[in-house]
Structure 1
């Protein structure tokens, strides 16, 4: 798994479930499958107070 795959999982969790708990659970699941150097973004999602807002923000700024 790479960071693009993990980001896609988070975006799908936000789209399908739309809850902070679902996004946090998905992030905890994929962070174990990423190489150590690529885990920073996922840990920020896990530690965020509002992971849904963070993932929505990330999705709006993917092209930047």
Structure 2
């Protein structure tokens, strides 16, 4: 989770677009596939590991 670049921009009333960039080798060291389930897991783990108080119940991935 330390090898990622984060970019956020507010889209409306406290809702943000979050873009995470991670090196291919780091990603596939943890995940087997590039899919929605792995993407959601990655976002949740990233936010938790950074003690982010974001509500991640409404995650929409673009892969």
Greater share of residues in strand: 2
Higher relative contact order, structure no. (Cα contacts within 8 Å, ≥ 6 residues apart)? 1
| TM-score of the superposed pair, with normalisation by structure 2 | 0.39
Q: Which has the larger radius of gyration?
A: 2
